[in-house]
Amino acid sequence: MRYDLDFCNSFDKTLLFWIERFVRNKLTTLSNSNVNDKDKLASIIQSLVKGTNSIDELKVLVKEARNIGLSGINTYFNPLLKLYKFLKNLGLASMKEIDEELLSDFLASETSGLSDATKKNHRIALLALFSYIDKQNENLDGNSYLFKIELKNWGGLRGNSGSKLPAYMNKEEINKFLYAIDTFEFSSETIYRNRLIIKMIIYTGIRVSEILNLKIKDIYKEEDIYILQVKGKGNKPRVAMIKSKIIEIDLQNWLSQRLCNNDLLVCNKKGNRLTQAYVSRIVEQILISAGIRKEKNGAHMLRHSFATLLYQKHHDLILVQEALGHADINTSRIYTHFDKDRLRATTNLMN
């Protein structure tokens, strides 16, 4: 069903309506392979069909969707939440007042100081929203109003988008971090689970979402190795390995007290999927206890540290690509920038 572009009498309500419709569309088109509560997803979609009363109410629904496994929705919604607040303050009367220049102003003011990768996500979210509206609006004579937003000339990106070098730990910092994992004072209910999660990430480089969606049947032992059958982005399968001595004690102790739904390997006190935000908070707490400070202290930094160390040790880009589950080897190429031994040769150029 299509709707008039200015569907409501109020601009704020109209903009909320279109963002809400777009979010509903993304929830039904994003991969649902990691969703751990189908009834909850159905309830969220039904709430969107009925409509929300405020952007904050929509924000709650998006958070609930993220917590049950649709983590990708935040890539779209967070920039649109900022856009809603930005446009609301301008006192616009019609959606037709939004144009390329106005959106460029939004990107320039709201993404200042952010990484190129995050800026790129903001641009993608805007393009996706207005492309959706182009296809879904229709006036009384059957014609559609087309925004045709491209944002090709927006100058906020420095060179190739997303090319900023990621934060990572060097070998000495990794050793301090590993020691801190075993000495950090977790509660008796979470100590084995949290140690298991963090160790599996730092020793294998798997994504936080991948371990949170890991099932009991996806981990098994062969001799002195635990093999993890991981489902990465796009439901793409791969294998990760970790020496059993690293996680054996934590794994067995956690399994003895584990009460998880949906056959999840790890879960919260209610048996449901943990959130990525929770894991990142744990990582940050351990880093602080170890006296390690980085530009970004979240759990994803552990993946970058693993990949960096892996490349420095083996100088094998294919190995890095396979270990991290990158679809394109050019994504893995970023870690060659940390090869100090190779770059040291440049110091002899003028000798």
The residues that are catalytic are 207, 233, 300, 303, 326, 335
Q: How far apart are CA 351 and CA 341, in angstroms?
A: 18
| Strands of the chain, DSSP E | 219-222, 225-231, 237-243
Q: Please say whether the dihedral angle defined by the alpha carbons of residues 298, 299, 300 and 301, taken in this order, is positive or negative.
A: positive
3-state secondary structure of 139: coil
Number of alpha carbons in the 13 Å side-chain half-sphere of residue 75: 14
Residues 6+ apart with CB under 8 A from 131: 149
Tally of CB atoms within 10 A around 104: 18
- What's the helix, strand, coil split of the chain in %, to 5? 60, 5, 35
d(CA 248, CA 300) in angstroms, rounded, equals 23
What does the alpha-carbon distance between residue 52 and residue 77 come to, in Å, rounded to a whole number?
15
In the block, tokens 């584990």 appear at 258
Q: Annotate 30-59 with b (16+ C-beta within 10 A) or e (fewer).
A: beeebbbbeebbeebeebbeeebeebeebb
